[in-house]
Each structure stands twice: as structure tokens, then as C-alpha cells.
Amino acid sequence: MERARLKLLEEYHDPLTVGQLDAIGVGEGWSCLDVGAGGGSVTRMLAERVGSTGSVLAVDLDTSLLDELASDRVEVRRHDLLSDQLPQAAFDLVHARLLLMFLSPRLRALQQLVSAARPGGWVATIAPDFTTVALSPTSVVWQRVWSQFLDAAMTGGWDPGYGARLLGDLRAAGLV
């Protein structure tokens, strides 16, 4: 069930990630960190791009869907971003897709990502803003369902509107 859920997310978000990696210029010999690597689609992309002279470290709380990716250029590690230390100033690219909205404190998690990037390296992250989702024409039933979803999300500790606040945290972390 989890693999199927992650596969759907990957199919939707991978094209955007490919665009990010292209714009950054990730290539042969890069050292990359994929945080919250999930089902591994980004880890696979990175491993292909860095070639035989590069490396990818894929970390997640649950590595069961990542273990099969371990190779001479991909290392898989169980890691809790809020309690475990990442290697410092070690990566050309630190990537975290759809992760920060689930963590608290988010700024501290982002600062961990920043500290793992080498000077001149890149931190690539994306977070949606689910609070702006609307249905047209409006539906009272949809509005009630969506409102309950947002309430449940916040009760569960994640921030469904974090995408709108990410830029502020990027500034606070010294990236923008």
C-alpha cells in the first residue's frame, strides 16, 4: 500500500524534480543527499546523473523501499532529520521533496539541510500550500471535507500551508 501511494506521488512530482535537477545542473561526479527519500525515484535520478564518479546518500525514517537501491554509488541510511546529525558541508546537492511540512520545528530541519550542503552547494526543496485548494463551482460538501482534512493534518502535526511560508524559512536559513 505504501509503495503504491509513493508511486503516485512520484508520478506527479518527478517531472518537476527533473526540471529542478536540470536547472541546477546536477551531473557527473556530484555528491548528493536525498532526505526523506521515500520510494527512491529521486535517488534513482540522482544516481544516474552523478555517474560512476559521484555518490548519493539516501536517508529516510523507513528505508524498506530504498534498500534495493544500495550500490557502489548509492548509500541508504535510516535517519531522523530532527535527532540525527547529517555530514556537515559534504554535499553538492541536498534534496528534500515534500518533507519539511511534516516536521517540527521546520526551520531547524531546514537548517540541518543547509548545514549538509558544501559552500557553493545547492539545497533543493519543495512544499505545497494546500490551504489554497479550491473547487469551482463551490460546493458546501467539498468545503466541509477539505476543512476537516486541513484540521486533521494540523492536529497530526504537519503544516498544510507550509509552501506559502517556505520562502521565509529559506531567508531565515540564509539561502535567499
Q: Which CATH number is 12's domain given?
A: 3.40.50.150
Q: 27 is in which domain, residue-wise?
A: 2-128+161-172
Q: Is residue 141 part of a domain?
A: no
Range with the lowest mean pLDDT among 39-53, 79-93, 94-108, 129-143? 129-143
Q: Is residue 93 part of a domain?
A: yes
- Is the pTM higher than 0.85? The answer reads yes
Phi, psi of 83 (to 5 degrees): -125, -20
Q: Is residue 143 part of a domain?
A: no
Q: Is residue 35 part of a domain?
A: yes
Dist CA 53 CA 168 (whole Å): 36
Work out the pLDDT band at 149, boundaries 50, 70, 90: confident
Q: Residue 155 burial by CB count (10 A; 0-12/13-18/19+): exposed, middle or buried?
A: exposed
Cell output for 39: 520510494
Please write the tens of the pLDDT for every residue from 67-122: 999 999 999 999 999 999 999 999 999 999 999 999 999 999 999 999 999 999 99
Dist CA 97 CA 123 (whole Å): 11
Q: Is residue 83 part of a domain?
A: yes
**Domains: count for the chain:** 1
Work out the pLDDT band at 136, boundaries 50, 70, 90: low
Q: Is residue 58 part of a domain?
A: yes
Q: Is residue 138 part of a domain?
A: no
Q: Is residue 149 part of a domain?
A: no
pLDDT at 134 over 80: no
